[in-house]
């Protein structure tokens, strides 16, 4: 698992470690890792032109000491001082190594600009002089390497309400921060390179599952398993207006670990589902979980859904099904899978408000409705009512296609029926859904059913580490 900590958690861990180390040791560790990362990013050091944007914080000190190391290896290093309180020892080290202080004109010919403007405690936005330097780099197409986090983003929320650095690479220390996981700031970070500096950290605020975690959680059948013990999912989806949603959600569910799917809905839609998936059982019966909402439109029966929410089986609510939520009752076994617009309607705010503060609104919905929230998007945010937070970061833009969310709802419902908790079902489902899209997109644009068809191969890929051949992934 990858973990992300808050600014306060990181600062406390740094203070504890610095109290036990000789003065300056921690900064030297960070600077050495930063210098190596910049050299790897450039592909060479000797003769490279490096410009440092230096503010008053420790990130500026990290950048100055890293610049000194690069200068000793033959780089031409120039520091642009954006504060009269630049780290004095770091600046002296840079000058002693042959670096110098310059102005904005140096940026045009640079190979890389290093963002040491503000540290992780900085507020969103950039001061005019810093913004002018960043705009110069952008104008001349000079890539920026951010130190710890891109200056100007909100480190603890991932929000970007004001001008900020857009980095080609972010080099961070000790642990990931929330802005590295959550959009829109995650996009501003670019790839993130983590350097271990020996911090003793408390439990993380957020985590992102990796393949080993999926292998530990995935409900693999045993020799004694049957279709009932593997899990039976009840699916209420599709309508006269959107019959395809039921077919697509069924495809997603059948590509998960469940043993049987019961479809409950209009006879005409049931006929289409069974025409595509003859193994589906149509009609009521005992289930281990419900997936409700994809394509229901105006045919959503809120009263009937609320009865199921009050029953003992876990329930997934997608799309129109989310409208059945109310603030009463115990919904800790409920998983909702809205996109930003659906979550905005649930919370009574504008879609743009949710998109600008994804973490805030996912947590708000989880707390208000006592549910686990899977907020779909470029980075999927999963917030549980007990405060747990997970993020899925392996998505591909090709997932933005009609019906993709129906596949995800079916898959997560399947995982619920197989016995996973809402947060684990959401986390495993989001990861495998994205992995399937990556496989499907290896040949170009994809549809929702392409994603569903690639789910078995993606699951095999993640569970075994064996990349499937292209022919297998098409079947």
The domains of the chain are located at 2-208, 211-473
Fold for 211-473, please state it. Answer: 3.40.1190
Per-residue buried b or exposed e for 430-456, using 16+ beta carbons within 10 Å of the residue's own CB:
bbbbbbbbbbbbeeeebbbbbbbbbbb
Whether domain 2-208 has CATH 2.60.40.650:
no
Residue 106 phi/psi, 5-degree rounding, is -70, -20
Q: What is the DSSP string of 94-137?
A: HHHTT-EE--GGGGTT-SEEEEES--TTPPSS--HHHHHHHHHH
Whether 114 contacts 38, CB under 8 Å:
yes
Q: How far is CA 268 from CA 239, 246, 378, 399, in A?
A: 9, 11, 35, 29
Q: Are β-strands 281-282 and 206-208 bridged in parallel, bridged antiparallel, or unpaired?
A: unpaired
* Helix (H/G/I), strand (E/B), else coil: 88: helix
DSSP class of residue 180 equals H
Which residue ranges make up the annotated binding site for AMP? 376-380, 405
**CA–CA–CA angle 96, 97, 98 (5° rounding):** 90
Specify binding-site residues.
Answer: 58-62, 115, 119-125, 148, 151, 245, 295, 339, 376-380, 405-406
For 75, residues 6+ apart whose C-beta sits below 8 A from its C-beta are 45, 46, 47, 48, 49, 50, 67
Domains 2-208 and 211-473 share a fold: no
Annotated binding-site residue numbers for (6S)-NADPHX: 58-62, 119-125, 148, 245, 295, 339, 406
User: What's the whole-model pTM score?
Assistant: 0.92
Distance CA 101, CA 58 (A): 18
The dihedrals phi and psi of 178, each to the nearest 5 degrees, come to: -60, -35
Known binding residues for K(+): 59, 115, 151
Reading the chain (475 residues) residue by residue, the pLDDT tens digits are 999 999 999 999 999 999 999 999 999 999 999 999 999 999 999 999 999 999 998 999 999 999 999 999 999 999 999 999 999 999 999 999 999 999 999 999 999 999 999 999 999 999 999 999 999 999 999 999 999 999 999 999 999 999 999 999 999 999 999 999 999 999 999 999 999 999 999 999 999 999 999 999 999 999 999 999 999 999 999 999 999 999 999 999 999 999 999 999 999 999 999 999 999 999 999 999 999 999 999 999 999 999 999 999 999 999 999 999 998 878 999 999 999 999 999 999 999 999 999 999 999 999 999 999 999 998 999 999 999 999 998 888 999 999 999 999 999 999 999 999 999 999 999 999 999 999 999 989 999 999 999 999 999 999 998 766 644 444 3
């Amino acid at each position: 698992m990858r973990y992300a900590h808050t600014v306060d958690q990181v600062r406390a861990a740094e203070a504890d470690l610095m109290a036990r180390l000789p003065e300056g040791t921690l900064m030297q560790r960070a600077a050495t890792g930063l210098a190596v990362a910049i050299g790897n990013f450039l592909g060479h050091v000797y003769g490279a032109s490096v410009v440092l944007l230096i503010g008053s914080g420790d990130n500026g000190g990290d950048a100055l000491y890293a610049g000194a190391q690069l200068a000793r290896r033959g780089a031409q290093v120039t520091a642009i001082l954006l504060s009269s309180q630049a780290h004095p020892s770091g600046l002296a080290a840079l000058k002693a190594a042959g670096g110098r202080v310059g102005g904005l004109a140096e940026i045009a010919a640079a190979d890389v600009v290093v963002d040491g403007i503000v540290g992780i405690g900085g507020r969103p936005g950039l001061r005019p002089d810093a913004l002018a330097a960043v705009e110069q780099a952008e104008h001349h197409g000079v890539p920026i390497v951010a130190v710890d986090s891109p200056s100007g983003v909100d480190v603890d929320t991932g929000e970007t309400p004001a001008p900020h650095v857009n980095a080609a690479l972010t080099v961070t220390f000790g642990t990931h921060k929330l802005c590295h996981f959550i959009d829109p700031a995650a996009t501003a970070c670019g790839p993130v390179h983590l350097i271990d500096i020996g911090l003793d950290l408390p439990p993380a605020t957020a985590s992102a599952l990796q393949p080993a975690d999926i292998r530990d959680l995935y409900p693999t059948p045993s020799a004694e398993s049957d279709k009932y013990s593997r899990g039976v999912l009840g699916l209420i989806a599709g309508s006269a207006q959107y019959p395809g949603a039921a077919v697509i959600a069924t495809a997603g569910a059948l590509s998960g670990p469940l043993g049987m799917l019961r479809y409950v809905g209009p006879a005409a839609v049931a006929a289409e589902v069974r025409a595509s998936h003859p193994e589906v059982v149509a009609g009521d019966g005992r289930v281990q979980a419900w997936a409700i909402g994809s394509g229901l439109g105006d045919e959503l029966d809120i009263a009937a859904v609320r009865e199921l929410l009050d029953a003992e089986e876990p329930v997934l609510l997608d799309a129109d099904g989310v409208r059945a939520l109310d603030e009463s009752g115990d919904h800790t076994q409920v998983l909702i899978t809205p996109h930003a617009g659906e979550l905005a309607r649930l919370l009574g705010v504008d879609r743009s408000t949710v998109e600008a503060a994804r973490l805030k609104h996912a947590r708000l919905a989880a707390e208000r409705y006592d549910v686990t929230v899977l907020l779909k998007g470029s980075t999927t945010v999963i917030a549980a009512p007990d405060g747990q937070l997970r993020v899925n970061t392996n998505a591909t833009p090709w997932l933005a296609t009609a019906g993709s969310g129906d596949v995800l709802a079916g898959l997560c419902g399947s995982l619920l029926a197989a016995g996973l908790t809402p947060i684990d079902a959401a986390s495993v489902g989001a990861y495998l859904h994205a992995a399937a899209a990556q496989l499907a997109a290896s040949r170009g644009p994809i549809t929702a059913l392409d994603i569903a068809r690639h789910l078995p191969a993606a699951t095999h890929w993640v569970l075994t580490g064996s990349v499937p051949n292209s022919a297998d992934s098409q079947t």
